[in-house]
Amino acid sequence: MTEASPLPKAFPGLVDSHCHLDFPEFDGKMAEVREEMRENGATHALCISVNLEGFPKVLGLAESYDNFFASVGVHPDHEDRAAVDPARLAELARHPRVVAIGETGLDYYRVSGDLEWQRERFRAHIRAARGCGKPLVIHTRKAAEDTLRIMREEGAAEVGGVMHCFTESQEVAEAAVSLGFHISFSGIVTFKNAGALKEVACKVPLDRLLVETDSPYLAPVPHRGKTNRPGLVRHVAEEVARLRGMPLEDLARATTDNFVRLFEPPKWS
Ligand SMILES: [Zn+2]
Ligand SMILES: [Zn+2]
């Protein structure tokens, strides 16, 4: 399916720390998706919830497959502006296959107008995470300053988590790391015009680094423009390893160790 070269026998395996396998693009395609993961040494994936209506399907994936895990949350772009109840989120997150709260955060690019509802929703997620002791998956777009401010105000450092699909500056990365957060790079880091981001990917401490696909979006080079799949996380990892001048195996080992330490997934095999 891909032109990727064979992996060494003892390849430690990669985790796609953020994908949306419940989206209709993947209906009836799970065998294919999982086969491509195997071919590319992608051993595990975290399936990310974007709203509570879709959560049962996300959880179903994590219940059906030992190497998939789930998060629970309502995306900042989700149109339904009804308040999110932190107690309800924390309750859903008590399920053993749910390893994180999110994705949550702020998006001032996709949504405009008075966004107080978005900030309130973000606060509710941080409270839920603190309530159940599970880490946060944070999305931020054109809203870094407010994102960091709310993380500080709500005590997000208590649970930590990940700034997913990171596209911000070195300064923002450092602020997030100092709050105990991890930085996850997506296919964007493989794009030719991502010069500044490539520099950030060199500087994030190795023990705070994660990789992801954000499937079905943002397929990495050389698959740019196609439907993204978790197996393609290998291209993201290869690019980050190349930028940092380290072997892919070492990058895989480090990011997988980070994933396990952060999310403490059940029955890791
Ligand atoms: Zn996102
Ligand atoms: Zn996402």
pLDDT digits (tens, 9 = 90+) for 47-64: 999 999 999 999 999 999
Whether the predicted pLDDT of 238 surpasses 50: yes
| pLDDT computed for residue 6 by the predictor | 79
Cα of 19 vs centre of ligand 2, distance in Å, is 6
- Global pTM reads 0.96
* pLDDT > 70: percent of the chain: 98
Which tens digit of pLDDT belongs to each residue from 146-205? 999 999 999 999 999 999 999 999 999 999 999 999 999 999 999 999 999 999 999 999
More confident residue, 124 or 12: 124
d(CA 235, CA 5): 11
Q: What is the pLDDT of residues 244-268, one digit of tens each?
A: 999 999 999 999 999 999 999 997 6
Give the ligand with the smallest distance to the CA of 22. 2
Cα 9 to ligand 1 centre (Å): 33
Distance 139 CA to ligand 1 centre (A): 5
Q: Phi and psi (nearest 5°) for 44?
A: -140, 160
Nearest ligand, measured from the Cα of 104 = 1
Residue 83 CA to ligand 1 center (angstroms) comes to 19
Ligand nearest to the CA of 48: 2
Per-residue DSSP letters for 17-77?
A: EEE-TTSGGGTT-HHHHHHHHHHTTEEEEEEPPSSTTTHHHHHHHHHH-TTEEEEE---TT
- What's the gap in Å between 260 CA and the centre of ligand 2? 19
- In this structure, the number of other CB atoms found within 10 A of the CB of residue 177 comes to 17
Q: What is the model's pLDDT at position 4?
A: 65
